[in-house]
Chains A and B, each alone.
Chain A
Amino acid sequence: SYELSQPPSVSVSPGQTATLTCSGDALSKQYVYWYQQKSGQVPVLVISKDTKRPPGIPERFSGSTSGTTVTLTISGVQADDEAYYYCQSADNHGPYVVFGGGTKLTVL
Protein backbone atom coordinates (compact mmCIF):
# COMPACT_ATOMS: atom_id res chain seq x y z
CA SER A 1 0.00 0.00 0.00
CA TYR A 2 1.05 3.55 -0.65
CA GLU A 3 2.85 5.40 2.16
CA LEU A 4 3.93 8.93 2.94
CA SER A 5 7.07 9.32 5.02
CA GLN A 6 7.55 12.07 7.60
CA PRO A 7 10.31 12.43 10.19
CA PRO A 8 8.90 11.65 13.65
CA SER A 9 10.18 14.83 15.24
CA VAL A 10 11.68 18.23 14.55
CA SER A 11 12.91 20.68 17.17
CA VAL A 12 13.64 24.37 16.72
CA SER A 13 14.13 27.41 18.91
CA PRO A 14 11.67 30.31 18.83
CA GLY A 15 12.28 32.62 15.90
CA GLN A 16 14.07 29.99 13.86
CA THR A 17 12.78 28.24 10.73
CA ALA A 18 11.27 24.76 10.90
CA THR A 19 11.44 22.53 7.84
CA LEU A 20 9.11 19.53 7.78
CA THR A 21 9.29 17.07 4.92
CA CYS A 22 6.92 14.51 3.41
CA SER A 23 8.06 11.95 0.85
CA GLY A 24 6.07 9.64 -1.40
CA ASP A 25 6.43 8.10 -4.85
CA ALA A 26 3.30 9.79 -6.22
CA LEU A 27 3.91 13.26 -4.86
CA SER A 28 5.21 14.60 -8.16
CA LYS A 29 1.73 13.98 -9.60
CA GLN A 30 -0.63 14.40 -6.64
CA TYR A 31 -1.42 17.41 -4.49
CA VAL A 32 -0.34 17.46 -0.87
CA TYR A 33 -2.22 18.98 2.02
CA TRP A 34 -0.75 19.81 5.43
CA TYR A 35 -2.59 19.79 8.76
CA GLN A 36 -1.63 21.10 12.16
CA GLN A 37 -3.00 19.25 15.19
CA LYS A 38 -2.35 20.68 18.61
CA SER A 39 -2.76 18.50 21.68
CA GLY A 40 -6.39 17.55 22.21
CA GLN A 41 -7.61 19.58 19.24
CA VAL A 42 -9.08 18.97 15.79
CA PRO A 43 -6.70 19.02 12.81
CA VAL A 44 -6.50 22.33 10.96
CA LEU A 45 -5.58 22.70 7.29
CA VAL A 46 -2.52 24.96 6.99
CA ILE A 47 -1.42 24.31 3.39
CA SER A 48 -3.62 23.21 0.48
CA LYS A 49 -2.60 21.90 -2.94
CA ASP A 50 1.12 21.91 -2.18
CA THR A 51 1.59 25.65 -1.71
CA LYS A 52 -1.69 27.46 -1.03
CA ARG A 53 -2.34 29.00 2.35
CA PRO A 54 -6.01 28.93 3.45
CA PRO A 55 -7.61 32.09 4.81
CA GLY A 56 -6.53 32.85 8.36
CA ILE A 57 -3.28 30.89 8.22
CA PRO A 58 -0.27 33.09 9.03
CA GLU A 59 2.15 33.95 6.25
CA ARG A 60 4.99 32.24 8.12
CA PHE A 61 3.51 28.92 6.94
CA SER A 62 4.54 28.00 3.39
CA GLY A 63 4.69 24.91 1.21
CA SER A 64 7.00 23.83 -1.58
CA THR A 65 7.62 20.79 -3.73
CA SER A 66 10.60 19.12 -5.32
CA GLY A 67 9.99 15.88 -7.13
CA THR A 68 8.67 13.29 -4.72
CA THR A 69 9.30 15.38 -1.61
CA VAL A 70 7.17 18.22 -0.35
CA THR A 71 8.12 20.61 2.40
CA LEU A 72 6.23 22.62 4.97
CA THR A 73 8.29 25.59 6.14
CA ILE A 74 7.41 27.57 9.23
CA SER A 75 9.39 30.80 9.44
CA GLY A 76 9.87 32.65 12.70
CA VAL A 77 8.55 29.73 14.74
CA GLN A 78 6.47 30.64 17.77
CA ALA A 79 5.70 28.62 20.87
CA ASP A 80 2.10 28.33 19.65
CA ASP A 81 3.29 26.40 16.58
CA GLU A 82 4.19 23.40 18.72
CA ALA A 83 1.99 20.58 17.37
CA TYR A 84 1.87 17.49 15.22
CA TYR A 85 1.93 18.15 11.48
CA TYR A 86 0.48 15.65 9.02
CA CYS A 87 0.79 15.54 5.25
CA GLN A 88 -2.03 14.04 3.17
CA SER A 89 -2.21 12.99 -0.44
CA ALA A 90 -3.54 10.30 -2.77
CA ASP A 91 -1.86 7.53 -4.69
CA ASN A 92 -1.77 7.28 -8.46
CA HIS A 93 -4.12 4.29 -8.65
CA GLY A 94 -7.32 5.84 -7.44
CA PRO A 95 -8.75 8.31 -4.98
CA TYR A 96 -7.37 6.50 -1.98
CA VAL A 97 -6.23 9.01 0.57
CA VAL A 98 -3.21 8.50 2.78
CA PHE A 99 -1.76 10.45 5.68
CA GLY A 100 1.85 10.58 6.66
CA GLY A 101 2.73 9.35 10.11
CA GLY A 102 3.04 12.90 11.40
CA THR A 103 5.91 15.05 12.65
CA LYS A 104 5.95 16.40 16.17
CA LEU A 105 7.28 19.94 16.11
CA THR A 106 8.84 20.91 19.41
CA VAL A 107 9.64 24.56 20.11
CA LEU A 108 12.58 24.59 22.50
Chain B
Amino acid sequence: QEQLVESGGGVVQPGESMRLSCAASGFTFSGHGMHWVRQAPGKGLEWVAVIWHDGSYTYSADSVKGRFTISRDNSNNMVFLQMNSLRADDTALYYCARGDAMDVWGQGITVTVSS
Protein backbone atom coordinates (compact mmCIF):
# COMPACT_ATOMS: atom_id res chain seq x y z
CA GLN B 1 0.00 0.00 0.00
CA GLU B 2 1.03 3.62 -0.44
CA GLN B 3 3.07 4.62 2.57
CA LEU B 4 5.29 7.38 3.92
CA VAL B 5 7.51 6.87 6.96
CA GLU B 6 9.37 9.73 8.61
CA SER B 7 12.52 9.37 10.68
CA GLY B 8 15.29 11.46 12.20
CA GLY B 9 13.45 13.46 14.84
CA GLY B 10 14.40 13.98 18.46
CA VAL B 11 15.54 16.64 20.90
CA VAL B 12 18.05 19.32 19.97
CA GLN B 13 19.24 22.57 21.51
CA PRO B 14 18.46 25.96 20.00
CA GLY B 15 20.81 26.81 17.16
CA GLU B 16 21.55 23.20 16.31
CA SER B 17 20.70 21.26 13.14
CA MET B 18 18.66 18.19 12.35
CA ARG B 19 17.82 16.25 9.20
CA LEU B 20 14.47 14.57 8.73
CA SER B 21 13.93 11.77 6.24
CA CYS B 22 10.77 10.42 4.68
CA ALA B 23 10.76 7.02 2.97
CA ALA B 24 8.08 6.38 0.35
CA SER B 25 6.77 3.03 -0.82
CA GLY B 26 3.86 1.57 -2.76
CA PHE B 27 3.68 4.25 -5.47
CA THR B 28 5.76 5.87 -8.20
CA PHE B 29 7.64 8.33 -6.04
CA SER B 30 9.25 10.24 -8.92
CA GLY B 31 5.82 11.15 -10.26
CA HIS B 32 4.78 13.25 -7.27
CA GLY B 33 5.78 16.49 -5.62
CA MET B 34 6.33 16.17 -1.89
CA HIS B 35 5.61 18.45 1.06
CA TRP B 36 6.67 18.83 4.64
CA VAL B 37 3.93 20.03 7.02
CA ARG B 38 4.29 20.60 10.74
CA GLN B 39 1.98 20.88 13.71
CA ALA B 40 3.09 22.52 16.94
CA PRO B 41 1.63 21.07 20.14
CA GLY B 42 -2.05 21.98 20.38
CA LYS B 43 -1.91 24.04 17.19
CA GLY B 44 -3.07 23.73 13.60
CA LEU B 45 -1.30 22.54 10.47
CA GLU B 46 1.50 24.69 9.04
CA TRP B 47 2.96 24.13 5.60
CA VAL B 48 6.77 24.06 5.63
CA ALA B 49 8.12 23.29 2.17
CA VAL B 50 7.49 21.61 -1.20
CA ILE B 51 9.72 20.01 -3.80
CA TRP B 52 8.75 19.29 -7.40
CA HIS B 53 8.56 15.68 -8.56
CA ASP B 54 11.94 15.91 -10.26
CA GLY B 55 13.56 18.17 -7.67
CA SER B 56 13.73 21.07 -10.10
CA TYR B 57 11.90 23.53 -7.87
CA THR B 58 11.62 23.99 -4.14
CA TYR B 59 9.63 26.50 -2.10
CA SER B 60 9.41 27.08 1.61
CA ALA B 61 7.36 29.06 4.09
CA ASP B 62 8.63 32.44 5.23
CA SER B 63 8.96 31.10 8.77
CA VAL B 64 11.70 28.65 7.70
CA LYS B 65 13.18 30.31 4.63
CA GLY B 66 16.96 30.45 4.78
CA ARG B 67 17.08 27.86 7.59
CA PHE B 68 15.33 24.77 6.19
CA THR B 69 16.08 23.01 2.90
CA ILE B 70 13.96 20.34 1.25
CA SER B 71 15.57 17.80 -1.08
CA ARG B 72 14.84 14.39 -2.54
CA ASP B 73 16.50 11.24 -3.86
CA ASN B 74 14.27 9.63 -6.47
CA SER B 75 16.62 6.66 -6.78
CA ASN B 76 15.87 5.69 -3.20
CA ASN B 77 12.33 7.09 -2.89
CA MET B 78 13.30 9.53 -0.16
CA VAL B 79 12.57 13.15 0.68
CA PHE B 80 14.54 15.10 3.24
CA LEU B 81 14.25 18.24 5.35
CA GLN B 82 17.51 19.77 6.51
CA MET B 83 16.80 22.07 9.42
CA ASN B 84 19.47 24.51 10.56
CA SER B 85 19.51 27.21 13.23
CA LEU B 86 16.62 25.54 15.01
CA ARG B 87 14.51 27.61 17.36
CA ALA B 88 12.09 26.76 20.14
CA ASP B 89 9.14 27.64 17.90
CA ASP B 90 10.22 24.92 15.44
CA THR B 91 9.11 22.36 18.03
CA ALA B 92 6.40 20.35 16.30
CA LEU B 93 5.25 17.08 14.82
CA TYR B 94 6.60 17.02 11.27
CA TYR B 95 4.75 15.20 8.51
CA CYS B 96 5.70 14.45 4.93
CA ALA B 97 2.79 14.38 2.50
CA ARG B 98 2.32 13.49 -1.15
CA GLY B 99 1.36 15.76 -4.01
CA ASP B 100 -0.83 18.82 -4.44
CA ALA B 101 -3.70 17.08 -2.70
CA MET B 102 -1.56 15.77 0.16
CA ASP B 103 -3.51 12.55 -0.20
CA VAL B 104 -0.97 10.37 1.60
CA TRP B 105 0.62 11.38 4.91
CA GLY B 106 3.27 9.84 7.08
CA GLN B 107 2.62 9.17 10.75
CA GLY B 108 4.74 12.17 11.72
CA ILE B 109 8.00 12.59 13.62
CA THR B 110 8.52 14.76 16.67
CA VAL B 111 11.12 17.51 16.76
CA THR B 112 11.75 19.22 20.09
CA VAL B 113 14.01 22.25 20.33
CA SER B 114 14.87 22.96 23.93
CA SER B 115 17.82 23.91 26.08
A-B pair number, CB within 8 angstroms: 52
Residue pair A102, B45 in contact (C-beta under 8 Å): yes
Residue of A84, A94, A98 near B47 (CB, 8 A) is A98
Residue of B35, B62, B101, B107 near A48 (CB, 8 A) is B101
Residue pair B62, A42 in contact (C-beta under 8 Å): no
Determine the chain A residues whose CB is within 8 A of the CB of B105 once the complex forms: 42-44
Q: How far, in angstroms, from A97 to B61 measured CA to CA in the complex?
A: 8
Residue pair A99, B59 in contact (C-beta under 8 Å): no
Query: What's the minimum C-beta distance from B1 to chain A, rounded to whole angstroms?
Result: 12
Residue of B35, B59, B102 near A35 (CB, 8 A) is B102
Residue of B46, B47, B106 near A42 (CB, 8 A) is B106
Residue pair A42, B61 in contact (C-beta under 8 Å): no
Whether B50 is near chain A, meaning CB under 8 Å from some CB there, is yes
Given A1-B62, A97-B35, A45 and B101 touching (CB < 8 A)? yes
Interface residues of B in 22-81 (CB under 8 A from A): 35, 37, 44-47, 50, 57, 59, 61-62
Query: What's the minimum C-beta distance from A93 to chain B, rounded to whole angstroms?
Result: 11
Residue pair A99, B101 in contact (C-beta under 8 Å): no
Determine the chain B residues whose CB is within 8 A of the CB of A35 once the complex forms: 45, 102
Determine the chain B residues whose CB is within 8 A of the CB of A14 once the complex forms: none
Residue pair A94, B45 in contact (C-beta under 8 Å): no
Residue pair A45, B95 in contact (C-beta under 8 Å): no
> A83-102 toward B: CB 8 Å interface, digit per residue (1/0)?
01010100000111111111
What are 20 A-B residue pairs whose CB atoms fall within 8 Å in the complex? A1-B62, A33-B100, A33-B101, A33-B102, A37-B45, A43-B102, A44-B105, A45-B101, A45-B103, A48-B103, A84-B44, A88-B47, A88-B102, A94-B59, A97-B35, A97-B50, A99-B37, A99-B44, A100-B44, A102-B45
